[in-house]
Structure 1
Amino acid sequence: MKKIFKFSLITAVVLYSIYFILNITGVLSIYNNSTVANEPNLKMNSKILISNLINPINGDFVSFKFEDAKFGKAVRIFRLCGKENDIIEIKNGVVFINNENRDKDVNFIHNYFLTSNNYQNLALNEKQHYISISQFINNDSLIVSIDDNFANKKGFGHKRVTEKDTDKNIKSIFKHDWNKDNFGPIKVPEGKVFLLGDNRDNSEDSRYLGFINFSDIIGTVLFNN
């Protein structure tokens, strides 16, 4: 019995030591996703496996170091949507990289204009989906965040809301009359990347933060549960 206990203890110590080394070097790290910014593809409170051995390409989720006056130092995760010298443009909410539609065949979350009855039916019958109220218009209508596949399935795809007016926060960073849905074209500077959340209308990403230093990327997301 003592031998079994000793063997189990040694095994546990060895495994922990290996994990500690992998984690401290960034070869393999585990993070808890504490935000809805990448729903529906990275679920809130899911565990995410990250490695710095993978050189990310456009479309990969990456983690990066970020610091601001409001939250201090943090690790954030967004989708890589532009590396240095890429041309980024968002037209009516669709992202283009070097004139190629990169949103095609990916399920994002956007805002949709629904009647109150539409929303009540969704809220009651489709609880497994991400459904969040963004804005009440009046007693009969509201804007709701739902994933695109679900919106199309329910026949709401044509009711997607896109911003037309200038966003003063985006203008303060990029000095153009752009907004989250109509942005660019702009070339990604050397040593920088452009990152976006999959919850496109509820994500403080590069549209609001500016370009991110490539050197601040910690690793590429390998797996999430």
Structure 2
Amino acid sequence: MKKPLEKTLIILSILFGVYTILGQTDMLKMYNIPTTANEPGIKLNSKILVSNLVDYENGDFVCYGYKNEMLEKHIRIHRLLGKANDIIEIKDGILYLNEQDFDENMELQHFYSIDFEKFQELLSKGVITKDVQGFRKDGKMMVILLDKIAEQNGLSNLIKVEPKNQADNTIKEIYTQNWNMDNFGPLKVPQGKCFVIGDNRHNSEDSRYIGLINESDIVGTVVKKL
């Protein structure tokens, strides 16, 4: 075997060993994204690098272990928006962290209720594509749109916001309050717990629906989107 080939194999073996160790210890690990829950922040079918060496702060995407009666433990990814003693409140679809509007400079997605004719117009202009998330209801199209796209097309007033005190049964079962995904809280995060939420606010199974997560279940912070 020629020496250059020997050196190449040695280097590859070392790199593979380092990568394996990093992955097994969660020092640096790659994950594929199978969900739209965090769009536009993290795209469906994209990849991310996660590390447990980086401290997480409110606003960071974190990975955490989750399981329930139907699903074995698996890794989920959401944006961290509440640690111990933080106060979370969502009012008319806007999230407030410690009474400050956290959503003001965020790029988010919500459901919008638009006329079918307008929907067809947006399709023809290429503003949205045929694979857009949505469905037809009562003669309208309920469509997930980027808030900035909605604003650019004069649709901001058509955002679908659940009225206050219209309880979501799943949320009520967890928090024993008449809350829903758009009007939630105020809630003070207890010690050892965290509140996580998806950027795709109307299509994300996050702390609103699964409860607060254990801080000890967080396995790392997203450090790179690929």
Runs of 5+ consecutive residues of structure 2 not aligned to the other structure: none
Give the equivalent residue in structure 1 for 2:54.
54
- Which residue pairs with 2:221 in the alignment? 220
Taking only the aligned residue pairs, the percentage that are identical comes to: 43
2:152 partner amino acid: K
Amino acid at match of 2:168: D
Aligned twin of 2:198: 197
Task: Mark the CA change 1:192 to 1:91 in structure 2 (over 3 Å): closer, same or farther.
Answer: same
Q: Is the 8 A contact 2:56 2:62 kept in 1?
A: yes
| 1:209 equivalent in alignment to 2:206 | no
* Conserved? CA contact 1:40–1:130, under 8 Å: no
| Number of residue pairs matched by the alignment | 223
Looking at structure 2, the residues matched to 138 and 177 of structure 1 have their Cα atoms a distance apart, in angstroms, of 26
Residues 53 and 85 (structure 1 numbering): CA distance in 2 closer, same or farther, change over 3 Å? same
Q: Secondary structure at 2:118's aligned position in 1?
A: helix
Q: How far apart in 2 are the matches of 1:119 and 1:8? A: 56
Do the aligned residues in 2 keep the contact of 1:130 with 1:147 (CA within 8 Å)? no
Contact between 2:123 and 2:129, CA under 8 Å: does it hold in 1? no
1:151–1:157 Cα contact (<8 Å) kept: yes
How far apart, CA to CA, are the structure 2 residues paired with 1:129 and 1:54? 39
Q: What is the one-letter code of the residue matched to 1:113?
A: S
Q: In 2, Cα distance between the equivalents of 1:130 and 1:95? A: 28
Q: How far apart, CA to CA, are the structure 2 residues paired with 1:6 and 1:173?
A: 59
User: Following the alignment from structure 1 to structure 2, what is the Cα–Cα distance between the partners of residues 128 and 138?
Assistant: 22
Match of 2:84 in 1: 84
Q: CA RMSD in A?
A: 1.5
Partner of residue 33, structure 1? 33
Deviation at 1:117, TM superposition (A): 1.6
Residue 129 of structure 1, CA deviation: 9.9
Please tell me the residue identity of whatever aligns with 1:176. Q
Question: Is the 2:66–2:75 Cα contact (8 Å) retained in structure 1?
Answer: yes
State the shift of 1:128 in Å.
Answer: 6.6
Letter aligned with residue 143 of structure 2: V
- 2:172 is the counterpart of 1:151: no
TM-score (normalised: structure 1)? 0.95
Q: Secondary structure at the match of 2:117?
A: helix
Runs of 4+ in 1 over 2 A off after TM superposition: 121-124, 126-131
Task: Give CA-to-partner distance per residue, 1:73-117, whole Å, 9 cap, x none.
Answer: 110000001000001100001000110011111111100111112
Distance in structure 1 (CA, Å) of the matches to 2:131 and 2:184: 26
Corresponding residue number in structure 1 for 2:177: 176
The match for 2:114 is: 114
Hey, what's the Cα distance between the residues in 2 that align with 1:137 and 1:50?
39
TM-score where L is the length of structure 2: 0.95
